[in-house]
Structure 1
């Protein structure tokens, strides 16, 4: 059965079903279909499946043409009907794995989906989990559910873990050019998984187990979290010493070895870096390990929005103004520049803190015209156009996300006060600019 499935995959006679048409699932579906592999995209949101079938993209960094190019060739369509899982050969889960209110892993999206598709699984399929999670999830949560259906993993059903490595808006890397880590529940599972991803990925890295692949993903993002936490702490120290942290980082980056530059900001955003470290700290407790280093960096990064608001309050005080009732404009709602993704965005956290302190809040982000529905946040706001008249009415402008489309010369010319969290004005000395 393994050989037959591998041949079906390599000869591109099979069908790939991808569950979750979000920032990971949609690019992955396009990568497979552009390689002449038929894809069925699954999602519980009919608006997404309808958009795909109509050839309309709902993400800024993915063009509608790229979708139409494959849907019109009958290589890709989307559905909310999960019974169609029975007609695919490979199933790939690209689902959210958030934290609950106690900062513990919430696998409900994954486990609920598995329960939904169990009746439609069949012998000879391969299932891959791409969602970020703690080591042991694939074997502890997915495998038992599959075996209860009467399948033997590694013999008539194949289970793998291969973490996503998408970086929305990064022009230097695509789904196909980013190396892909794969771990299998058995050696035969691994062999099938490697064959699956070699259809679209230039370099596939096989690992000895699903646990190793799961921990690899966590290490990648914890590495970034820890280093960002370090540079955010250095930013505070430099500020107290009246030193420009951006100048220091740029200077340190000239060293050709032993240093990789990381940059401070208003906090961590996206679905990975603010969340992944806590997946490991939670799991490590089961082994009697306290991850002090990881937790410390998480604490520093989590506190960054509070620190920024403190800088805003201090800057307004110097102008004899209170934060309460002041008009504050937040520039950029997405978690990083030039994309339309607001997941865990520090900009939203800044807005919550400003709201709690009684400020009048406005935001401008051309990629997010209306404040979206979010699990933890709700604002009845729309993006406003930046004009000289607007800036002159605003008491303080916070550069939270440094989109390239913003006219920073105009913002500098007409703003009364600017709190710069991204180093946009690092080369400018001005009384109206406060670095945060």
Structure 2
């Protein structure tokens, strides 16, 4: 089964076709910005499927633990993290410049509420700027952070297009929010 099968009418560019081929062959490198309770499980699942995963986070402690094959997420199996790291399928860094190595990048950073109870996009915008600095043709950027409608199109895409690349032509963007309630033992992913 192909992991990505473009719709015949989609008329993907050569750039999109090349990306689809990498995904189907599992040679696409998966980048994860934010290795918290959303990002790390996503990365681990891709590593289990045989993809090479590069996690990027500001926490040196998390990065060091993952690179030693140690788990810090109570919802994940210690052995799964250790195995993925040992096989070289899961690694982490604090160097955001390495995002250029990834073919698919998930942005999985917090969107807390500010004092007015409005979503604070600071982490999303910062992650977008980091991705934009290394953005290259053929990449797929997926916003996983739970946020309000329009965030991707109105906030993230303009930041990415500062790179001089055109969305939908040179690279691709998607929004796939994660619904997670941290610490909820009844309803969890």
Normalised to the residue count of structure 2, the TM-score between the two structures is 0.87
The equivalent residue for 1:155 is: 169
Q: Does 1:38 align with 2:65?
A: no
Separation in structure 2 between the aligned mates of residue 21 and residue 11 of structure 1, nearest angstrom:
25
Deviation at 1:50, TM superposition (A): 0.7
Cα distance in 1 for partners of 2:172, 2:38 equals 22
Q: Report the alpha carbon displacement of residue 145 of structure 1 after superposing the two structures with TM.
A: 1.3
Matches within 5 A, 1:229-308: 270=181
**Unaligned regions of 5+ residues in structure 1, if any?**
167-269, 272-334, 340-436
Distance 1:336 1:76 in 2: 26
2:41 to 27, 47, 55: 27
Indicate yes or no: 2:95 matched with 1:95.
Answer: no
Tell me if 1:126 matches 2:140. yes
- CA gap 1:337/1:31 in 2 versus in 1, 3 angstroms: closer
Q: How does 1:358-377 map to 2 (within 5 A)?
A: none
Report how far residue 338 of structure 1 moved: 8.1
TM-score by length of 1: 0.39
Alignment map for 1:174-193 (pairs within 5 Å): none
Higher relative contact order (CA 8 A, sep 6+): 2
Tell me the SS of whatever aligns to 1:113: helix
The answer on 1:5 being equivalent to 2:16 is: no
Q: Residue in 2 aligned with 1:332?
A: none
CA RMSD of aligned residues (A): 1.6
Structure 1 segments (4+ residues) deviating >4 Å: none
**Structure 2 unaligned runs (5+)?**
1-14
SS at match of 1:3: helix
Secondary structure at 1:84's aligned position in 2? helix
**Residues 102 and 65 from structure 1, CA distance in 2 versus in 1: closer, same or farther, beyond 3 angstroms?**
same
